[in-house]
């Protein structure tokens, strides 16, 4: 399965590849042959990058799950920062069930997303109102990324693990953890969107 919003990029890659393949065959040109092979490599990269595998999500109020594939690069002030490399799936998912109270998009620069000053980058923030309070999920564009795509709207009711958007070509996702939860991941851990538990409900909470 391919990510929603990937169609123009895949169409461009396939079209460029087909054009060079036709020209290289018609003109029997070595440079055009190489260009056709590069086009095929680009198409393969696009398919790999925009893949969106189905994942069985175990929904529970007792824990939060990762909103992104990638590596935990920082944990501070009850915020978990996840950096997505090119090989990671770039579709983001809801870490907790609730209602989208607010979506705020901000234009900005394109510093490497792993840097702390990347907070000035292009970003899209979801505020999910859950039974434990508001949870912020921030999509941050990276050096090459030029478009953050949102799949959700304000007032949407979303389930834990539901797709909420994606970032194209390298990026980072930050998620805040309510005080009702204990953070269970550490810096350097690899996580999967919709699968990896990043926080569990505190044992002393009254249900």
Please indicate whether residue 171 is annotated as part of the active site.
yes
The catalytic residue among 24, 66, 118, 171 is: 171
- CA angle (94, 99, 102) in 5-degree steps: 90
Reference 160, options 98, 78, 80, 79; nearest CA is 98
Reference 95, options 185, 6, 168; nearest CA is 185
Q: Look at the block and give the residue holding tokens 């900005």.
A: 108
Rounded to 5 degrees, φ, ψ at 151 are: -100, -10
Question: Would you name the residues annotated as active-site residues?
Answer: 171
């Amino acid at each position: 399965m391919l990510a929603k919003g990937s169609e123009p990029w895949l169409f461009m890659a396939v079209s460029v590849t087909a054009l060079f393949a036709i020209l290289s065959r018609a003109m029997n040109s070595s440079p055009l042959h190489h260009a056709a092979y590069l086009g095929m490599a680009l198409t393969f990269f696009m398919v790999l990058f925009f893949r969106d595998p189905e994942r069985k999500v175990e929904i529970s109020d007792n824990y939060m799950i990762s909103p992104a594939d990638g590596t935990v690069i920082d944990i501070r002030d009850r915020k978990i920062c996840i950096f997505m490399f090119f090989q990671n799936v770039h579709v983001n998912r809801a870490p907790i069930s609730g209602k989208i109270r607010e979506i705020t998009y901000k234009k900005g620069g394109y510093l490497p997303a792993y840097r702390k000053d990347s907070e000035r980058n292009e970003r899209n923030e979801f505020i999910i109102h859950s039974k434990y309070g508001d949870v912020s999920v921030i999509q941050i564009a990276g050096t090459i990324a030029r478009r953050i795509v949102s799949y959700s709207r304000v007032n949407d009711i979303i389930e834990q693990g539901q797709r909420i958007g994606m970032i194209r070509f390298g990026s980072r996702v930050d998620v805040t953890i309510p005080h009702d939860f204990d953070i269970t991941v550490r810096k350097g851990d690899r996580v999967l969107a919709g699968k990896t538990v990043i926080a569990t409900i505190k044992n002393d909470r009254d249900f």
